[in-house]
Amino acid sequence: MPQNRRPHGPTRRALIAGGAAAAVAAGAAACTATGASTVNSGPTIPPAEGKVQLTYWAWLKDLQKVCDVFNASQDRIQVDANWIPSGDSGGYAKILSAVAAGGGPDIAQVELRQIPEAALSGSLIDLSRYGAAEHEGLFDPSAWSQVKVQDQIWGIPQDTGPSAFFYNREVLEGELGQTPPATWDEFKELAGVGTEAGKKILSLDPSDGSVMNMWAMQKGANWYQPQDGGWIVSMADDASLQVAEYWDGMIAEGLVGTSFAPFSAPWMAACGSGDVFGYVGGSWADALIEGVPGGSGKWAVAPMPRWDDGYASGMLGGSSAAVMANSKHPAEALEFLIWMCTDPAGIDAMIENSGIGWSPAKDYIGAVREKPSEFSSGQNYNTEVIAAMAAGQNLDWVWSPVTQRANAALGDGMNAAVTGTKKLVDVLPEVQDKVVEIMRKIGLDVEVAR
C-alpha cells in the first residue's frame, strides 16, 4: 500500500532551518522592544475628538463599580476595569509582559514604592507632560510626594498607607495592664512585658524588607535622592543606623516574633488567640485586622511610636494608578484618574467597593471614615489617629529605581539578623553597596552620600 518514498515537500532540515531563522528575527525584535520607547521624549498625544474607551488593570476589588460611577457621569470617556493578581503575585509580570509586547492597558495599578522602577522599565507615561502638576493642590501632600521624582509625575496616587500602631486593647490594656507606647523606647518596654507573659507585640516577616523603609523614613532618612541626572544613595546614614541598632536589640532579645508574616494564616490564628497583640504598619491594615477571628470590639489604633527626632509616621504600602506607555489616550486617562482620586464621589466609591487604604485627596478622608468604627468598639481612629499620621510624613522620601532588589537584599539581611549571623547595622552598608552596584550596572549615575 504505502509507497515508501521521500516526500517532495520541504525537507525536515529546511523546515527547521527556516523556523530557526524566523525565531531569531523574532528574538531580535523582542530585544529591541524591551523598554526602548520614545513615549516620554516625543510629542505628547493630543486629546481625542470623539468618544474614548480606556482599559484599567488593577487588583482592587470591584473596581468596575467605581468606573461605572464615572462612566455614568459623562458620555465621552468609558473605563473598563480588569482584575489582575496583585503586583508581586503576578500582576507586575502580566503588566510588564503586556507592555513589552506592545499592548497592555491604558491604566494600571502600580504600588507607590514601585513607581520609579516601573518608570525605569519604560512602562509608564510621565504625566507631568500632560499637565498633571496643575492638580497637585487637590491631593494630600504625603500622597503626591510619593508619585514624583523631581518634576516627573509617574502616576496618580490612588491610596496611601500612613503607619500607625494597631493593638489588641483587651490584651494590652486588660491582661498586661499597659498603655499604648508613645515612643519606641516605651514600645520596647511593652514588648518586654508582653514577652514575659508569652505574647508578642508584633510578628515580623524577616524576608520583607519594606518595613525597614518605613522605619527609616520615619526617623528622617532619605535613602534615595535624585540630584541632577543621577541618584544619591544614603542607606547607612546616622538615622538609618540608629533604627537598625534598635531593631537589632529587639531581635537579639527575642522581643518580636519572626516566624510568620503579618496577615498570613498563622498570624491571624495567633492574633485571634492573643499570642500576637499588635501591628505597626499602614492604615489599610484595619480592613485586614477585621479578619482576625473573634477580634471584633477588641482592637484599637494608636499613633506610630516616635523618636525624639524625625517624623510622626512612616509610609507602608499604598498604590498609584499609572498611565501605561502604550496608551493612546493619556489625557483622558489623566482626567478620569483625577476624578477617581480626588472627587468625593470617586473616593467614596473606592472605599465602599474596593476597600482602599488612606484617601489620597486633600481634606477628604471618605464619608464612612468620618464615623466611629464598629470593629474598634466605637473608636473614631481615622479622624483621631490616622489623619495625624498622614499629616506627619517625611515628604522628602523618594522611592528607589530598584525597589524590588533593594527590598529583597534588605529581606535577606533581616533573615540573617533573625538567624543571628549578622547585625542590621552591618546589613545596611552591605545592602547600600549592593544597591549602588546594581544601579550602576543598569547604567544609572549613582553616588554614595557622605
Partner 1 sequence: MSKSKAPWILMGPFLILFVFTMVVPIIIAIVQSFMTVERKGLLGEEGVTSQFAGLDNYIAALTNPNFTASIGRMLLFGVVQVTVMIAAATILALLLESAAAKWPGLFRSAYFLPYGIPGVIATILWSFLYVPGLSPIVDVLGMIGIEVDFLSPGNVLWAIANIVTWTYTGYNMLIIIAQLKSIPGELYEAAKIDGAGPWRIVTSIQLPLIRPALMLTIIFSIIGTLQLFAEPRILKLVSTGITSEYTPNMSAYAYAFQYNDIGMAAAQAVIIAVVAFVLSAIALGLSNRGKKGGRTR
Interactions with partner 1, residue window 73-102 (CB under 8 A) = 88, 90, 92-93, 96-97
Instruction: Return the range that interacts with partner 1 (CB under 8 A); candidates 37-45, 51-59, 160-168, 279-287.
Output: 37-45
Instruction: Return the range that interacts with partner 1 (CB under 8 A); candidates 15-23, 50-58, 133-141, 324-332.
Output: 15-23
205 is a site residue for partner 1 (CB under 8 A)? yes
* Mask for 395-434, x = binds partner 1 (CB under 8 A): ------xx-xx--x--xx--x--xx---------------
Nearer to partner 1, 197 or 444 (CB): 444
- The candidate with the shortest Cα–Cα distance to 218, out of 316, 284, 110, is 316
Instruction: Return the range that interacts with partner 1 (CB under 8 A); candidates 55-63, 113-121, 140-148, 214-222.
Output: 113-121
Nearer to partner 1, 92 or 167 (CB): 92
Question: Scanning residues 215 to 274, which ones bind partner 1 (CB under 8 A)?
Answer: 226, 229-231, 258-261, 264-266, 268-270, 272-273
40 is a site residue for partner 1 (CB under 8 A)? yes
Instruction: Return the range that interacts with partner 1 (CB under 8 A); candidates 48-56, 64-72, 242-250, 442-450.
Output: 442-450
Min. distance of Cβ 188 from partner 1 in angstroms?
Answer: 22
Q: What is the 3-state secondary structure (H, E, C) of the chain?
A: CCCCCCCCCCCHHHHHHHHHHHHHHHHHHHHHHCCCCCCCCCCCCCCCCCCEEEEEEECCCCHHHHHHHHHHHCCCEEEEEEECCCHHHCHHHHHHHHHHCCCCCCEEEEEHHHHHHHHHCCCECCHHHHCHHHHHHHECHHHHCCCEECCEECCEEEEEEEEEEEEEHHHHHHHCCCCCCCEHHHHHHHHHHHHHCCCECCECCCCCCHHHHHHHHHHCCCCEEEECCEEEECCCCHHHHHHHHHHHHHHHCCCCECCCCCCCHHHHHHHHHCCECEEEEECCHHHHHCCCCCCCCCEEEEECCECCCCCCCCEEEEEEEEEECCCCCHHHHHHHHHHHHHCHHHHHHHHHHHCCCECCECCCCCCHHHCCCCCCCCCCHHHHHHHHHHHCCCCCCCCCCCHHHHHHHHHHHHHHHHCCCCCHHHHHHHHHHHHHHHHHHCCCCEEECC
User: Contacting partner 1 (CB under 8 A), which of 14, 17, 23, 101?
Assistant: 23
Min. distance of Cβ 4 from partner 1 in angstroms?
Answer: 11
Min. distance of Cβ 265 from partner 1 in angstroms?
Answer: 5
- The candidate with the shortest Cα–Cα distance to 106, out of 323, 337, 320, 332, is 323
Question: Scanning residues 335 to 394, which ones bind partner 1 (CB under 8 A)?
Answer: none
144 is a site residue for partner 1 (CB under 8 A)? no
Question: Scanning residues 149 to 168, which ones bind partner 1 (CB under 8 A)?
Answer: 149-150, 152
332 is a site residue for partner 1 (CB under 8 A)? no
Min. distance of Cβ 49 from partner 1 in angstroms?
Answer: 29
Neighbour count for residue 420 (Cβ, 10 Å) = 9
Q: Which residue has the cell 557622605?
A: 450
307 is a site residue for partner 1 (CB under 8 A)? no
Nearer to partner 1, 99 or 333 (CB): 99
Nearer to partner 1, 182 or 232 (CB): 232
User: Contacting partner 1 (CB under 8 A), which of 11, 14, 17, 24?
Assistant: 24
Min. distance of Cβ 394 from partner 1 in angstroms?
Answer: 20
Nearer to partner 1, 82 or 419 (CB): 419
* Whole-angstrom distance, CA of residue 412 vs CA of residue 434: 12
Question: Scanning residues 165 to 204, which ones bind partner 1 (CB under 8 A)?
Answer: 204
Min. distance of Cβ 405 from partner 1 in angstroms?
Answer: 5
Vertex 83, ends 77 and 87: CA angle to 5°? 115
Min. distance of Cβ 410 from partner 1 in angstroms?
Answer: 11
Instruction: Return the range that interacts with partner 1 (CB under 8 A); candidates 5-13, 66-74, 279-287, 384-392.
Output: 5-13
Letter string b/e over residues 383-417, b meaning 16 or more CB atoms within 10 A of that residue's CB: eebbbebbebbbeebbbbbbbebbbbbbbbbbbbb
User: Contacting partner 1 (CB under 8 A), which of 106, 117, 159, 348?
Assistant: 117
Min. distance of Cβ 103 from partner 1 in angstroms?
Answer: 17
Instruction: Return the range that interacts with partner 1 (CB under 8 A); candidates 4-12, 246-254, 334-342, 351-359.
Output: 4-12
Total residues contacting partner 1 by CB under 8 A comes to: 75
